[in-house]
Structure 1
Amino acid sequence: MIRNRAKIYSMIIAAFIIAALPEFSMAEVVAKLTFMRGDVDVLKLGAERAILLNLGDGLNTGDILRTKSKSRAQLTFTDGTKLNIAQKSRIEIKAFDIDTARNKRTVLLRSFRGKFRAIVPEEFAGEGSRFEVETPTAVAIVRGTDWLNIINPLPLSTEEMVLRGSVAVRNVKPGIAGEVILGPMMGTSVPANRPPTPPRRVRLEELIPHLRDTSPVKDDQHLSPEELGVPRGGPQIISEPGFAVPPVSPPVTDTYPEILEPEPPVEEPPLESPV
């Protein structure tokens, strides 16, 4: 009798220990991997090593997703938001909460490197809603939109390009004043320790390569600009009172001339450790 009771207690304790492990966590799934190409892994909250993901796997708050070289992924969140992620990117889901009764959404993402395209539905945009993305140099505050977020490593800066809707952009450091609000087909760059550059029109030849890099379609090289999601109509801008719209100028980052004259692929160096 005593031996059986001790055995039952041991089984209960073992169950609690297993449930506490990250890979057995019953945390709420906030997003699923709905497209992948190549190798995509995730560092679970509290884990020491990243694990490879499979199509359809769920992600939780606190997870850090990484796409390796020549890989890409799409995350679809429970609110309908789609995150199309290019190769060599690393993104953390810092917070995700949907309050359907109050039509409120709280989403906080952190992008460490790489690029992604976010398509955010207008639902759950009630008073107090937040959808923010933090990068090493910038914070983007989203208002139901479709936009690109690109981190340039050298020199360190963040590019924001809006296709639809509006995005407010400022430096990640609160002490650096200055915020711009981008409308459709407008962009800005946020260098380290400086405010965002004045909003500018986004040129089609610089936009298309980024859309291809983040496309969840396997044969994306044959897609037209419209099929990639480029909106019809002229550029627009929303900005602070008294802020002048600058003329079209060359982009501050590489405009990828190879879109017109493709070059052979270049072998990329291996990634650093998973974590």
Structure 2
Amino acid sequence: MKTTYLMALLVITSVVLIFGSSANALAEDGYCEVMTVEGSAAVLRNGVSAPIKEGDHLKTGDRIEVGQGSLVDLAYDNAWKNVTRIRENSEVKIGSLVPTHINMKQGDIFSRIKALPAGASFEVETPTAVAAVRGTEFRTLTEPDGRTEIQNFSELPTSQILVFGMDSAGKRLDSPVTLDIEKKTEIPKVGDAPLPPRLMTPEELNEGNKDNEGLRERSNLPGVPDDKKLGVGGGPGNGPGDAPGNDFTGGGKPGGNFMDHQLPAKDFAPSLPPIPEHIRDITDMAQHVGDRAANAIQRVQDNKLPPPPPTGNLPPPCQQGYDC
């Protein structure tokens, strides 16, 4: 009996250790799924190159090469809320997935990071710069000589990007630049600090917005209409729905109250899809009928209705106080 008990205990302990190790390995490995492949692209893993296919899962250390006229979309969670688009002639390495750190030797990456877990971060590193975010949309372009440009395409006005220069040892320089929406900065070469931010050109805005919209549609995430872009974007330490330095009740402005905006109910969740037009029509019609009924009741209560018309020869209705 004692031997049987010890054997059972040993089996249970082994199962716990195995599954515990698997869970820890999964947490350390993170998540990276190939959403889209257009054209030619390959992944290099352990010295072996293979074509990338939709549905593939990539790992830390994988290198991705995207061919001319091609692109690859990656998701860093199984709900596809944190995604990147790697464009043609790009060479990228997954430095780590927890936290997410992408190394780009050269190329063009558009990142749409919308729902990182609490305390998580997302970074894109090039030979000359690092862009660090907690939740925003941004583009990173790197030339073969290392010249890097970072562009902020956030949909919410409080979202910011921290951009660091890099020294020759691969360490970040002090005094990063804070990049606001619709602005860009450039890091010319190794050892240079980011240049002062400046506005993007209309052409740059148009090109980046196309990638942003393409990733939104691919990941089934509704956009935020222009007139609903309140200052409630994600910020360090505040989560995806709060403005830096303010809680949600502040509505994204110091000392403000979210209720002060007096928004319609549907605007409290700007990520919800718009109400279909036919539903709006039905709602308007019901409201109109309800208003007419309320007016009729009020007229009866106020004794403002004329008496019933007499029988016999009647004058025209207009002369009796009724509508013609």
Q: TM tier, shorter chain? A: 0.5 to 0.7
Check 1:88–1:212 CA distance in 2 against 1; reply closer, same or farther (3 A cut). farther
C-alpha deviation, 1:215, in angstroms: 7.2
C-alpha deviation, 1:123, in angstroms: 3.4
Letter of the 1:145 counterpart: T
Mapped to 1, the partners of 2:178 and 2:172 lie a distance apart of: 18
Letter of the 2:150 counterpart: E
- Secondary structure of 1:50's aligned partner: strand
Letter of the 1:53 counterpart: I
Identify the range of structure 1 (61-70 vs 26-35) with the bigger mean alpha-carbon deviation.
26-35
Q: Which has the higher helix share?
A: 2
Mapped to 2, the partners of 1:200 and 1:133 lie a distance apart of: 20
- Residue by residue over 1:83-105, the C-alpha shift from the partner in whole angstroms, topping out at 9 and shown as x without a partner, is 111101111111112xxxxxxxx
User: Is 2:105 the partner of 1:112?
Assistant: yes
User: Is 2:186 the partner of 1:189?
Assistant: yes
| Unmatched segments (≥5 aa) in structure 1 | 1-25, 98-105, 218-228, 239-275
Letter of the 1:166 counterpart: Q
Correspondence for 1:201 = 199
Contact 1:41–1:50 (Cα < 8 Å) also in 2 = yes
Structure-to-structure mapping, 1:70-85, within 5 angstroms: 70-78=69-77, 80-85=81-86
RCO (CA 8 Å, sep 6+): is it higher in 1 or 2?
Answer: 1
Contact 1:163–1:230 (Cα < 8 Å) also in 2 = no
CA RMSD, 1 decimal = 3.0
**Which residue among 143, 153, 158 is the counterpart of 2:148?**
158
Structure-to-structure mapping, 1:95-106, within 5 angstroms: 95-97=96-98, 106=99
Contact 1:60–1:93 (Cα < 8 Å) also in 2 = yes
C-alpha deviation, 1:32, in angstroms: 1.3
Contact 1:117–1:211 (Cα < 8 Å) also in 2 = no
Q: Which has the higher strand share?
A: 1
Check 1:39–1:231 CA distance in 2 against 1; reply closer, same or farther (3 A cut). farther
Contact 2:153–2:208 (Cα < 8 Å) also in 1 = no
- Secondary structure of 1:198's aligned partner: coil
C-alpha deviation, 1:208, in angstroms: 2.3
Give TM-score, length-normalised by structure 2.
0.52
Letter of the 2:82 counterpart: T
Check 1:171–1:146 CA distance in 2 against 1; reply closer, same or farther (3 A cut). same
- Residue by residue over 1:172-207, the C-alpha shift from the partner in whole angstroms, topping out at 9 and shown as x without a partner, is 224744311112111100111210000111122123
Contact 2:166–2:192 (Cα < 8 Å) also in 1 = no
Structure-to-structure mapping, 1:1-275, within 5 angstroms: 30-44=31-45, 47-78=46-77, 80-97=81-98, 106-126=99-119, 129-153=120-144, 156-164=146-154, 165-173=159-167, 174=171, 176-192=173-189, 193-212=191-210, 216=214, 232=226
C-alpha deviation, 1:152, in angstroms: 2.4
Check 1:29–1:194 CA distance in 2 against 1; reply closer, same or farther (3 A cut). closer
Mapped to 1, the partners of 2:193 and 2:102 lie a distance apart of: 20
| Unmatched segments (≥5 aa) in structure 2 | 1-25, 216-222, 236-324
- Residue by residue over 1:116-139, the C-alpha shift from the partner in whole angstroms, topping out at 9 and shown as x without a partner, is 10011243133xx33222101101
- Secondary structure of 1:91's aligned partner: strand
Check 1:109–1:213 CA distance in 2 against 1; reply closer, same or farther (3 A cut). same
Check 1:215–1:40 CA distance in 2 against 1; reply closer, same or farther (3 A cut). farther
Mapped to 2, the partners of 1:69 and 1:230 lie a distance apart of: 32
Mapped to 2, the partners of 1:43 and 1:209 lie a distance apart of: 29
C-alpha deviation, 1:43, in angstroms: 0.8
Contact 1:73–1:85 (Cα < 8 Å) also in 2 = yes
Percent identity of paired positions between Structure 1 and Structure 2 = 27
Letter of the 1:138 counterpart: A
- Residue by residue over 1:123-167, the C-alpha shift from the partner in whole angstroms, topping out at 9 and shown as x without a partner, is 3133xx33222101101111211000001235x311100011211
Mapped to 2, the partners of 1:185 and 1:209 lie a distance apart of: 12
Contact 2:82–2:116 (Cα < 8 Å) also in 1 = no
Contact 2:182–2:205 (Cα < 8 Å) also in 1 = no
Check 1:194–1:114 CA distance in 2 against 1; reply closer, same or farther (3 A cut). same
